[in-house]
Amino acid sequence: MRLMLGISLLLAVAAAASLLTGPVGWSDLDHQLLALRLIRLLAGILAGAALAVAGVLMQGLFRNPLASPSVTGVSAGAALGVELALMGSVLLPGLVTIVPAACLRPAAGFAGAALALGCLLAVARRRGDITSVVLLGMVLSMLFSALGAYLLSLANDRWELGRILVTFTLGGIDTATGRSVAVATPLVAVALGASWCWGRTLDVALSGEREAASLGVDTVAMMRWALVWTAVLAAAAVTLGGGIGFVGLIVPNVLRAYLGPGHRSLIVASALGGAAFLTAADVCARVLHPGPGEIPLGAITSLVGAPFFIWFFTRERAAGRL
């Protein structure tokens, strides 16, 4: 309980800093600017919570603290969908008359994630084992990433399109719109609630597929629904913030060391912790850049996350806690 209060306090401080940080001071902030900063704050909270809880689900399902939504190919699928939408909106201006521009990005992100998810569920239905799902997820992830790189190479001769795609790939919530936040909010809320409901099942699944099945777990249903909610969370996060790494690895692993392996409390704490971490990272992206502009958010999370994760993992491994 004390830990939850501490994380909530961190989130409140990060949120206040996010609203106060920018070239225009608080006293000169008009309603329009305040609304923009609020959208950015909400995007950070939603993307951070979604990524962290997606990490909890993947680590629980695969019983591996190094698992993350990226191993399922769902994040890469969502990213490819958004990249296609960004290209389409520039190269085919008529497209935005069919699908409103504000809806195109989230719709394409969720469609890309759904494509990856469809492949995973088809394999889960035919094979029913986690190893096959992991292998397919890794293949999908590499395939979608390769297609994304190909799209980026096609955009080389169009400076504006190339800039948009690179910005998205590097990750950042500064491009999130009110519409994308409005689309993502109910999806993230439902997925967080559903993830919490699967928490006890994931606790029992810590004993392995066979033992869990003997204790009453419908392991196929668990795998399907954990993949579905991971896909929803990852797609929402990618749609809001592009390529942001390490949140789903760092936040759950740090909190698990204090809370233990029980998934329900870990999901609540990770949602709060992920939101606080990404909001704070977004403030750093704005504050630490030497001139005008921002450091890409994905670069901040990776620069902080990679060495921290190596240190943390080594320490926990030595202590026998991981």
Which residues contact other proteins (rule: CB under 8 A)? Answer: 63, 197, 200-201, 203-204, 206-208, 210-211, 213-218, 260-262, 321
Distance of CA 101 to the CA centre of its chain: 22
* Nearest distance, CB of residue 134 and other proteins, angstroms: 16
* Nearest distance, CB of residue 296 and other proteins, angstroms: 35
Q: Which is nearer to other proteins, 105 or 263 (CB)?
A: 263
Q: Report the C-alpha gap between 313 and 299 in whole angstroms.
A: 20
* Nearest distance, CB of residue 151 and other proteins, angstroms: 40
Q: Report the C-alpha gap between 207 and 203 in whole angstroms.
A: 8
| Residue 67 token pair | 């698992």
* Nearest distance, CB of residue 42 and other proteins, angstroms: 29
Q: Which is nearer to other proteins, 181 or 251 (CB)?
A: 251
* Nearest distance, CB of residue 191 and other proteins, angstroms: 17
Instruction: Tell me the residue ranges of DSSP E strands in 23-74.
Output: none
* Nearest distance, CB of residue 254 and other proteins, angstroms: 15
* Nearest distance, CB of residue 234 and other proteins, angstroms: 24
* CA-based nearest residue to 202, from 16, 26, 79, 67: 67
* CA-based nearest residue to 165, from 69, 242, 70: 242
Q: Which is nearer to other proteins, 63 or 158 (CB)?
A: 63
DSSP 101-122: HHHHHHHHHHHHHHHHHHHHHH
Q: Which is nearer to other proteins, 163 or 211 (CB)?
A: 211
Q: Report the C-alpha gap between 297 and 169 in whole angstroms.
A: 10
Q: Which is nearer to other proteins, 58 or 240 (CB)?
A: 58
Is the separation of the CB atoms in 267 and 192 below 8 Å? yes
Q: Report the C-alpha gap between 118 and 148 in whole angstroms.
A: 19
Q: Using alpha carbons, list the distances in angstroms from residue 208 to 62, 64, 82, 205, 246.
A: 9, 11, 36, 5, 26
Q: Report the C-alpha gap between 37 and 288 in whole angstroms.
A: 18
